[in-house]
Amino acid sequence: MSDQITRRQFAKLAGAAALGVGATSGAAASPLAAPVVRETVGRQPIEPRAFPAGFLWGTATASYQVEGAVAEDGRGPSVWDTFSHTPGKVMNNATGDVADDHYHRYKTDVQLMKSLGVKAYRFSIAWPRVFPQGSGAPNPKGLDFYNRLVDELLANGIEPFATLYHWDLPQVLQDRVGGWESRETAQAFGDYAGYVAERLTDRVHHIFTINEFGAFMELGYRIGIHAPGVKLPPGRFNQARHNGVLGHGLAVQAIRAKGKPGTKVGLAENLVVGVPVIETPAHIAAAEQATRQVNAQYLTVIMEGKYTDAYLAATGADAPHFTPEDLRVIASPLDFVGTNIYQPMFVRADSGPSGFAVVPNPASYPHMASPWLFIGPEVLYWGPHHVAKLWNVPEIYVTENGCSSSDIPAADGQVYDSDRVMFLRNYLTQLQRAVADGVPVQGYFLWSLMDNFEWADGYTNRFGLHYVDYATQQRTPKLSAAFYREVIAANRVL
């Protein structure tokens, strides 16, 4: 529906609480301000446009967006089932009932990956398949699907990267305790994470706890245009945000307790990335501080174990309630940080107390088929760069990047998505620049393997490398799939 507008607003809204606040700028407060990027890496210099040997090229999907089979093998309903079946919530009243039928066609889909040459696949596990009641009795048949998928990936030489929460909250938790409004959900999420870790980490070595606080919280619990469609007032909303990051921390601890030694844990966050409007030292410093401040409620508290002064000042009486122990759990050490990066937020230095100002996009600013997806390739340079420098993160993945295009098959049946190729070439050029500068990005997961259920946009916006004919479930590689295959084979931008 108005997903695009709202997502566009989101970049502003998410940070709004912390922006323009007359409190202490983070620069002085951060103990992590020392430049670390070049020094931490120690890679050999690499050729222009080339990526280092072993760079992990991948692709990504998420359970509700591709699986279908919503009533099979004991799966319980999720908030997205309920939301999409509520008339008027999703474009054309589309649902994920069938989606890409990936639940039944996963073997075919693994072959699509193989023909691209990807080394890794990021998928998500549907919590209500594993715990139909959210907690309590597990449903082993639900986890079996992921056992089959993981085995199939490994048999084809593709490394599985699993996300535990890509927005399909068991409906029962929303009904019983208000979902993320309650600490019970955080606790249940930790238990579910431990259960999965115990059973998959013999084969899955990278686990993401949560995908994009910055989307499902803001859109689902504040603005109400994603499931569960709730519009909480500020105090309750900030508490829900807090319960979300607490759930992440509990999951990290449960995975460490139950997973095989050597399991790596992180998250996949769509941090709002401040991009310096001009690459001068002053604007760069402002963009870095903006990134720290506008992500205060999610990535910053996770990485620093404290809410910024500016966030607490901005939220005032509506600030979340928490204990020091909560903060300790939230900041449980991570092995890597995954970044979902699409559009920039341009920033300039400013003489006000925060030291930065957001530069709004003019009406003529170009975007892809989704109106929220403003094109700014430099964001793929600055996102990982800020994460490495602000928090001294030694292992970073781009866990999502890609774009929607108004893909229409040509007379010969092919999809010539030259705009997606343009988008990818330019973004990857900036990613290569980051890697060449020593930013420790280890891999890139292109969103998405194939067209799928794009949340409130239903099936109207296509993000896939493969065109999906939803009537026949036929998958057709687009021009961008050929492009990506060549990039992977050459390990350089082409």
Residue 438's closest CA among 401, 394, 398, 399?
A: 394
Whether 317 and 383 have beta carbons less than 8 Å apart is answered as: no
Q: What is the DSSP letter of 32?
A: T
Of the two residues 305 and 371, which places its CB atom closer to ligand FCB in the complex?
Answer: 371
Whether 170 and 125 have beta carbons less than 8 Å apart is answered as: no
Mask: binding to ligand FCB, 429-448, rule CB under 6 A, as x and -? ------------------x-
Structure tokens at 378: 């430099």
Smallest distance from the beta carbon of 399 to ligand FCB, in angstroms? 9
Mask: binding to ligand FCB, 336-355, rule CB under 6 A, as x and -? ----x---------------
Based on the shown chain and the rule CB under 6 A, indicate whether residue 180 belongs to the binding site for ligand FCB.
Answer: no
Based on the shown chain and the rule CB under 6 A, indicate whether residue 123 belongs to the binding site for ligand FCB.
Answer: no
Contact range with ligand FCB by CB under 6 A, out of 211-219, 240-248, 286-294, 389-397: 211-219
Of the two residues 222 and 348, which places its CB atom closer to ligand FCB in the complex?
Answer: 222
> What gap in Å lies between CA 435 and CA 41, rounded to an integer?
10
- Residues 6+ away with beta carbon under 8 Å from 288: 274, 386, 389, 390
Q: How many CB atoms lie within 10 A of CB 133?
A: 16
Based on the shown chain and the rule CB under 6 A, indicate whether residue 463 belongs to the binding site for ligand FCB.
Answer: yes
Smallest distance from the beta carbon of 62 to ligand FCB, in angstroms? 5
- The residue behind tokens 């501080």 is 289
> What gap in Å lies between CA 376 and CA 349, rounded to an integer?
19
400 assigned to active site: yes
CA distances from 204 to 189, 260, 339, 371 (A): 19, 10, 19, 36
Select the residue interacting with ligand FCB from 13, 19, 215, 446 (CB under 6 A): 215
**Phi/psi at 90 (5° precision):** -120, 145
Select the residue interacting with ligand FCB from 211, 300, 308, 432 (CB under 6 A): 211
Of the two residues 65 and 300, which places its CB atom closer to ligand FCB in the complex?
Answer: 65
Select the residue interacting with ligand FCB from 3, 212, 269, 288 (CB under 6 A): 212
Query: Choosing from 67, 159, 181, 212, which is the catalytic residue?
Result: 212
Whether 225 and 282 have beta carbons less than 8 Å apart is answered as: no
Helices 102-116, 140-155: crossing angle, 10 deg rounding? 20
Contact range with ligand FCB by CB under 6 A, out of 24-32, 175-183, 208-216, 286-294: 208-216
Select the residue interacting with ligand FCB from 201, 270, 315, 432 (CB under 6 A): 270
Residue 146's closest CA among 164, 132, 169?
A: 164
Q: What is the DSSP letter of 445?
A: E
454 assigned to active site: no
Of the two residues 62 and 347, which places its CB atom closer to ligand FCB in the complex?
Answer: 62
Structure tokens at 239: 């508490």
Select the residue interacting with ligand FCB from 62, 271, 294, 303 (CB under 6 A): 62
User: Which helix (H) or strand (E) covers residue 397, if one does?
Assistant: strand 396-401
Mask: binding to ligand FCB, 399-418, rule CB under 6 A, as x and -? -x------------------
> What gap in Å lies between CA 260 and CA 406, rounded to an integer?
44
Smallest distance from the beta carbon of 392 to ligand FCB, in angstroms? 26
Query: Choosing from 159, 218, 288, 400, which is the catalytic residue?
Result: 400
Contact range with ligand FCB by CB under 6 A, out of 96-104, 138-146, 207-215, 278-286: 207-215
Based on the shown chain and the rule CB under 6 A, indicate whether residue 315 belongs to the binding site for ligand FCB.
Answer: no
Of the CA atoms within 13 Å of residue 20, those in its CB half-sphere come to 7
Residues classed as catalytic: 212, 400
Name the residues that contact ligand FCB, by CB under 6 A.
62, 65, 211-212, 215, 270, 340, 400, 447, 454-455, 463
